[in-house]
Amino acid sequence: MTLADVTATRGDVHAWVDAVAELTQPDAVVWCDGSERERRALVERMVHTGTLLPLDPDLRPGSYLARSDPDDVARVESRTFICSSDESDAGPTNNWREPSAMRTELEPVFTGSMRGRTMYVVPFSMGPVGGPLSRVGVQVTDSPYVVVSMHVMTRVGRAVLDLVEAGTPFVPAVHSVGAPLPDGQADVPWPCNPTKYIAHFPETREIWSFGSGYGGNALLGKKCFALRIASVIGRDEGWLAEHMLLVRLTSPQGRRYHVAAAFPSACGKTNLAMLVPTLPGWRVETIGDDIAWLRPGADGSLRAINPEAGFFGVAPGTGPATNPAAIETLSRDTIFTNVALTPDGDVWWEGLTAEAPPRLVDWTGRDWTPDSGRPAAHPNSRFTVSAAQCPTIADGWDDPEGVALDAIVFGGRRATNVPLVAQAQSWEHGVFMGATISSERTAAAEGVVGELRRDPFAMMPFCGYDMADHWAHWLRVGAALDADRRPLVFQVNWFRKDDDGRFLWPGFGENSRVLAWMVEQVDRARGVRTDVGAVGSPVGLLPAPGALNTDGLGLDDATLAQLFDIDPGSWAREADLTEEFFAVFGDRVPAALHDRLAQLRAALER
């Protein structure tokens, strides 16, 4: 059996599963039904094998700790491939392999890779089962940890298999930890393989993942399907799969708004998704924290769903001060991976409390004290938890029809230049904002301090095709929307600093003030309000004097001026860097973005 033979069977789920089993040679094949009984049995098995450690049921009921192999702790972007027929379709920012060559390379590692193990067949839906914006997949895996995590992160069950058996197209996803068990060989708590592949075949909509049991490398519904493959499906079908949070904002008058936002890592994405506003009378509710699928609606609006059913979040930095809603979400029924263990059977990570406990067992299983000189939790340690547990989850967050977006937000971490908030002057300007998202490197260990790290649309590691074509697709989608119902686009920067290195904006719950100004701009654009809310600048529309509510923050006029200062010389240099960045993509960069860059330069010279 070859990988090409397996691919040839993908239209028939039973023939495809049989072909994968013939290739990988598991001892048994189990079709998963997504039931609570199934979950409990798998958890009990993993407790027995040492994969999961039960936490104290009084402190953290229904929760477990997993410790991965130290070799298997994060995404492996260098081993993540886009196997499109045409190399140019993958673009300069993806690792490309020719499809038949990659199948030839994968075949020997997958042959017999599941010997001594059980192959689980996981039919799953991204989005509510049968919803008009949803898509389905079938993952086979030899990891019970993956099955239980897929229970949380997707909709698993017989209803999905019924759709597939009835002819609904599905994304076939093959995963193996790559650790076959010869007769008599004892297993380890976290099997994996030093050799790793995460390979995507856009034309055939396939995913093949080998060697890792961790996160998005193994939970193939997440970044692999919901972004890399789905972005290609969206390009072909006229919609967008994006690395975006979704929230509902409700004003004191009861008016509801829906906002999608894209932020690179370490820029406050999860905190915004679960924001607890400090602005009186306003409410923010969570719809999704990581991925959004956006599709033009029949009414000319842009509708969005969160295709996931759970949160797979980074633990370090999450605490009562930064994200109280997340802390409450994690109070029960959570799988923690690579965090530290307290003596009383609870979990801890850097940022959970102001002071570290005097004694812990770190993520590798070693004793730890504050003097150990190493983190207690891995910097990429994670929690996996049902979205339904979030105290800020919105009513109808999983409505199959999705929500109509009022605003789209892009943000990065910038100590200089970029103002607290700016509104795009047009859809094309908004796409330009998304294409030029950047964050300044903050330490020499990460590169040159102040150097810009580009992450367009926060999609650089996740777009399944050329990024410049992605920008062109955004322009096409926007053109298909009703001009009066098209979301407004904004850029934010919570991280601007003064000359002494202090943050100018308090952030966290106070970010609700910026969201309030945004949706008030939506009201002005739609004629609900007639007051002046914004003034022009070379980089976009900025809040008019008094339009951004800063009451009680103690910000003086000089600080506010710094938050919105636009220095023409610095921005001219930034325009040069943007031109250099666009050059990476050659002539695929849409003319509209070159035009926006020229307009920026002209505005700076006035």
Number of separate helices (H) and strands (E) present in the chain: 17, 32
Q: Say which of 32, 192, 224, 267 is annotated catalytic.
A: 267
* Strand intervals (E) in 83-216: 95-96, 118-126, 135-141, 155-156, 170-176, 197-201, 206-210
Give the Cα separation of 525 and 518 in Å (integer). 11
Residues with Cβ within 8 Å of 307's Cβ and at least 6 positions away in sequence, in order, are 126, 127, 133, 134, 135, 226, 230, 291, 292, 293
Question: Is 267 among the residues known to form the active site?
Answer: yes
CA angle at residue 315 from 310 to 318, to 5 degrees?
A: 100
Q: Among residues 64, 98, 137, which one has the least CA distance to residue 346? A: 64
| Burial environment of residue 428 by CB neighbours within 10 A (0 to 12, 13 to 18, 19 or more) | buried
Residue 379 neighbours by CB under 8 Å, 6+ apart: 316
Q: What are phi and psi of 251, to 5 degrees?
A: -80, 165
Polymer length in residues for the chain: 606
Q: Which of 195, 304, 194 is nearest to 241 (CA)?
A: 304
- The H-or-E segment that residue 293 falls in is strand 292-296
E strands, 49-196, in order: 53-54, 64-66, 80-82, 95-96, 118-126, 135-141, 155-156, 170-176
Residue 378 CA: distances (Å) to CA of 70, 249, 264, 382, 446? 10, 34, 20, 9, 17
The residues near 247 (Cβ < 8 Å, ≥ 6 apart) are: 258, 259, 261, 272, 273, 275, 284, 285, 286, 287, 394
Instruction: Say how far apart CA 415 and CA 493 lie, in whole Å.
Output: 9
Please give the Cα distance from 567 to 56 (Å, whole number): 55
Q: Report how far residue 73's alpha carbon sits from residue 514's, in angstroms, rounded to the nearest whole number.
A: 35
Nearest one of 212, 17, 224 to 120, comparing CA atoms: 17
Tell me the catalytic residues. Answer: 267
